[in-house]
Amino acid sequence: MKFSDFRSDTVTKPTEKMRKAMYEAEVGDDVLGDDPTVKKLEELAAEKIGKDSALFVPSGSMGNAICVKLWTKEGDEIILEERCHIYNIELGNLSILSRVLPRPISSKRGEMSPAEIEKAIRKKGLTSNGTSLICLENTHNFWSGAIISVENFKEIRKIADKHNLKVHLDGARIFNASIAKKIPVTEWTSLVDSVMFCLSKGLSAPIGSIIAGSREFIEEAWRIRKLLGGGMRQVGVIASAGIVALKEMIDRLEEDHILAKKLAKGLAEIKGIEINPEDVETNIVIFKIRKNGLNANNFVEMLREKGILALSISEDELRFCTHKDVNEKDAERALKACKEILYA
Ligand SMILES: *Cc1c(COP(=O)(O)O)cnc(C)c1O
């Protein structure tokens, strides 16, 4: 059976241009600083994201881990949103690698209240090592791809400066926010000290993420990447696809957003599904199953039998993700499958 795969925007296959670029890539040993294609990608990435320097890393998780490690000392507290990726689905690496104490706070669809953040800040003293970092996520994966506003970033930046804290942005899908809002990505990234974004999601590169920040920061990041086993040799082979991703794939994210909106509206009309289509601003569609005897896990299984792949993210929540390798036909097929299951 041919599947319509809505599990994630990571399932995208490299484009023909990427394959060609990979074949033709000029390469060298990047651990020795010799790979010209990686250098080109890092320069382009730094320019696009509006930071002095950038570093190519194997995954978003490693990118986040490096940034947290650099901004904290063992035992420090860090403030983050309770449904964020770093805290929930990176295998506890905050505690294992950086050995920090996460202090999750609640939010309004991913947007943390600056006052709540300020209340959560601990001063270094007899009973606490103090807070050193605030982590933000934009777009917010588990809040259905919600866009966190520039205004919110500005307020959080003010608090961070007042208390001498660093701000890291898990911007795995920050370009989705920029395309959806039609404002430059730098509106957000200029307000944080470090940013990670993924080339391997809606941008369709096969492998890799970028971290970016000041020149000094990235020099240190290089060392931590090596420490974690992320120093790669003739990695221009994959960096070349990242260059194509940055040059050609950002603008087309809009198509994913249109398709996600369509899915959300279609789902909203199905009895037994709970979703507010207004909440779907980018390419992630999270909805709830509200029918006796059905939960997210068995719903996913039943969808699979009908050729639709989705992810369950909690007991009653499912996630559809749109990307360049699904189209309107796939969306119609998904909606039909949902109806068949719920109306059986
Ligand atoms: C995917 C993702 C990551 C991690 O990226 P990997 O490359 O899968 O390690 C981090 N944060 C968010 C919000 C993500 O969606």
Going by the DSSP 8-state scheme, the letter that residue 246 receives in this structure is I
**pLDDT at residue number 1:** 87
Residue to substitute in 61, 137, 175, 323 for testing ligand 1 pocket (most ligand atoms within 8 angstroms of CB)? 61
Q: HSE (CB half, 13 Å, CA atoms) of 221?
A: 26
C-alpha 306/C-alpha 338 separation (Å) is: 9
Give pLDDT < 50 ranges for the chain.
none
189 ligand 1 Cβ < 6 A: no
157 ligand 1 Cβ < 6 A: no
Going by the DSSP 8-state scheme, the letter that residue 95 receives in this structure is I
For ligand 1, the distance from its centroid to the CA atom of residue 9, given in whole angstroms, is 11
**pLDDT at residue number 344:** 85
Tokens of 240: 């070349």
**pLDDT at residue number 259:** 98
Q: Which ligand 1 atom sits nearest the alpha carbon of residue 201?
A: 1
Which has the closest alpha carbon to 200: 137, 249, 132?
Answer: 249
297 ligand 1 Cβ < 6 A: no
For ligand 1, the distance from its centroid to the CA atom of residue 57, given in whole angstroms, is 12
198 ligand 1 Cβ < 6 A: yes
9 ligand 1 Cβ < 6 A: no
61 ligand 1 Cβ < 6 A: yes
- Amino acid (1-letter code) at residue 97: L
15 ligand 1 Cβ < 6 A: no
**Cβ atoms within 10 A of the Cβ of 332, count?**
14
pTM for the model: 0.97
For ligand 1, the distance from its centroid to the CA atom of residue 63, given in whole angstroms, is 9
Residue 198, strand partner residues:
209
**Atom 5 in ligand 1: residue holding the nearest Cα:** 60
Given a contact cutoff of 8 angstroms between Cβ atoms, the answer to whether 136 and 156 are in contact is: yes
Going by the DSSP 8-state scheme, the letter that residue 279 receives in this structure is G
37 ligand 1 Cβ < 6 A: no
For ligand 1, the distance from its centroid to the CA atom of residue 125, given in whole angstroms, is 34
**pLDDT at residue number 302:** 97
Distances (CA, A) of 57 to 21, 51, 172, 299: 19, 16, 13, 35
